[in-house]
Structure 1
Amino acid sequence: MEYRSIGADPKTARTVSSIALGAMLLGTFTDERTSFDVLDRFAEAGGTFIDTSNNYAYWFDGGTGGQSEELIGKWRRSRGVGDEITIATKLGARPLTPGTGYADNPEGLSAKAIRAAVEGSLERLGVDKIDVLYAHIEDPHTPVEETMDALTGLVAEGTVGLIGASNWAVWRLERARAHAEVSGATGWSVLQYQHSYLRPRMDIPQPLFRDGSFGTVTADLASYLREQGTTLVAYSPLMGGVYTNPAKKIPDDYDHPGTPARLAALREVAAETGATLNQVVLAWQLGHDLPILPLVGASSVAQIEETLGAVDLKLTAEQRAKLDAAH
């Protein structure tokens, strides 16, 4: 395993594994025994960064979520896991009532909602401090200043380590950053967005986001990340198995004339290296000029093994140029 530092301030920065394990479906769609096996293998291989959310996986049973956090908490206690594992969780998108969703009835990012959400996550995870806390989705009904001040208060009291944002528009990220700079509030240490080798269309909304494609890394967001030097935690880098599972359909927003060329280049590099398509995608991210940390889910130990193999795969300059040039 390789390791990277997240967080600009050396006093608060954390060193984490270069690949994060996404725990979204652990404890629900993936049963407890298999989930423990996945977590055990990840930790055994040197993985130290696990990602979840307080609303995972509310769609499993029509509830409000929290099962993933509970599963991680149970695993931590059973294995005696401590500070050597960095746990990241998210708030803001947990449904307020069962049978609703994040787009219909979310808890939001008000100061009151943030405080209540953090207390719930601490209890489910069985920890005294949340290492990394993301504002999961935008809250158009709450000023970003209120959100940032509330998060800053949690950092100041030691309840939260680093803060990040996920699925925000770039202008809102910048408004929050500017407020932090002027007021002394805590700023972003990490940002989490969907990013993969295939490129999405930007002229149609993402299915998960009714008001646009804020969940995807756009050119504006890439520029922002490069300027700020902020780490991108890239969720769904393998797009749910699209690269390797013929039964998986390419999503509509990725099904365009540029996609076949990208897939062809990917297959060529995989053939040259002897690696799987998934491993080439992850290696491409790990060696990117942007600081990208792939966030990969797994429902079996075999999937974890494939992911771990990407860490040692080093693409040549020519292979990277071939992948980058395809369009």
Structure 2
Amino acid sequence: MNYRTLGTTGLQVSPICLGTWRFGKEHEGLVETDRQDAHELLDAFADRGGNFIDTANGYGDGDSERWIGEWLADRDREDFVIASKCYWSQVSRFQENLSRKNVRAEVEGSLDRLGTDYLDILYLHRFDDDTPIERTLRTVDDLVSEGKVNYVGLSTADAWKLTKGLWKADINNYEAFTVTQPLFHAAYYEDVAEYLAVCADQDLAVCPYSPLAGGFLTGKYERIGDGTYDLDAPEDSRGEFDDLFLDFYVSERGWHVLDAVRRVAQELDATPAQVAIRWLIDQPDFTCVPIIGARTVDQLDENLGALDIALSDDQLDRIMDARYDEDGSLYQTNA
């Protein structure tokens, strides 16, 4: 596996990051990925050369971090880049914010569950409008000075809030964001274009979540007739049981981009998932390391197959251009 430098951090990471939000996640009383399956996925990822693992304090009510910590105990910590997040609290029902109290408590909790002395990356999971960002950054800066955090990232936020955070860090000489984690995939670009433009200008690495649009861009969904929201969803897929799936991922733009992805996949003898992931990896303006959340080792292997294909400039452009109709108007999306 060829590793790449994560923005300006100097970290050498696998071109794909393993997302663990399904670890311990319950749906209708059933755990989507249990402890044994989680360890099998981590084993397979590491065995194939993966070293970049993404989690959060709240994933699986803390089980995601616990299971990663158990697994990590039998390996060399220095071989892996571990990212976690804070905002929602696992410690106090009164502290869902980015106050000094909550950030410190949540980072200490994450370190304990992961069984490690430090996080390679700490993401602010959301932007806290009620806590001045310079106070949060001061707290994180202290954690960096103490060796408990190496780099700071920001997940979901408006472009102007990302910019504000960078500015506040600069004028106060605090540790600044070097990594971001937005919702971003082949059918969702213009919606985050300003955010991505800031990342490109400031040389911030981009680690998008939902790179396959919740599974929509795998090609397993089929359109029924001409209706935007009429689809054939496989049994036990997110499209069947997740009420938010239609709102977040299914749109006219999505169907047209999926058609383009499928055509490119046929040309390359690849799968739509591999093409959609490769499209992200090949972003020209910033380092892009997509976060995949495979349920099985087979799914993981299929996604990692994106590293074995190459998209031509024409193929990249055709996927990009699929967002627009014949008149040059942008197809709509709902997210």
State the TM bucket, normalised to the shorter chain. 0.7 to 0.9
Other-structure match for 2:330: none
Other-structure match for 2:326: none
Other-structure match for 1:153: 142
Q: Structure 1 residues 234 and 142 mapped into 2: Cα distance closer, same or farther (>3 Å)?
A: same
| Equivalent position amino acid for 2:152 in 1 | I
Other-structure match for 1:245: 220
| Cα distance in 1, alignment partners of residues 299 and 193 from structure 2 | 30
Structure with greater proportional helix content: 2
| Cα distance in 2, alignment partners of residues 157 and 141 from structure 1 | 26
Q: Which runs of 5+ in 2 are unaligned?
A: 26-31, 222-232, 240-244, 324-335
315, 323, 331: which is aligned to 1:319? 315
Shift of 1:106: 5.4
Deviation per CA, 1:94-128, whole angstroms, max 9, x where unpaired?
36667xxxxxx652111111111111011000001
Other-structure match for 2:81: 86
| Cα distance in 1, alignment partners of residues 72 and 200 from structure 2 | 35
Other-structure match for 1:236: 210
| Cα distance in 2, alignment partners of residues 264 and 24 from structure 1 | 28
Consecutive aligned runs of 4 or more in structure 1 exceeding 6 Å deviation: none
1:87 is paired with a residue of what secondary structure?
A: strand
Deviation per CA, 1:169-216, whole angstroms, max 9, x where unpaired?
22221111111111110001100011111137x8xxxxxxxxxxxxxx
| Equivalent position amino acid for 2:70 in 1 | K
Other-structure match for 2:6: 6
| Cα distance in 2, alignment partners of residues 16 and 139 from structure 1 | 29
| Cα distance in 2, alignment partners of residues 106 and 245 from structure 1 | 40
| Cα distance in 2, alignment partners of residues 232 and 270 from structure 1 | 24
| Cα distance in 2, alignment partners of residues 182 and 92 from structure 1 | 24
Shift of 1:141: 1.3
Q: Which runs of 5+ in 1 are unaligned?
A: 58-64, 99-104, 203-216
Q: Percent identity?
A: 36
Other-structure match for 1:18: 15
- Asked whether the 8 Å contact 2:57–2:90 carries over to 1, the reply is no
Query: Equivalences for 1:148-297 in 2 at 5 Å?
Result: 148-199=137-188, 218-243=192-217, 244-246=219-221, 247=233, 248-249=238-239, 251-290=246-285, 291-297=287-293
RMSD: 1.8
| Cα distance in 1, alignment partners of residues 17 and 38 from structure 2 | 15
Shift of 1:26: 1.8
1:133 aligns with 2:122: yes
Other-structure match for 1:209: none
Q: Structure 1 residues 95 and 245 mapped into 2: Cα distance closer, same or farther (>3 Å)?
A: farther
Deviation per CA, 1:265-319, whole angstroms, max 9, x where unpaired?
1111010001100000001111111321100011211011001100121101221
TM-score of the superposition, structure 2-length normalised?
Answer: 0.83
| Cα distance in 1, alignment partners of residues 112 and 248 from structure 2 | 38
- Asked whether the 8 Å contact 2:20–2:64 carries over to 1, the reply is yes
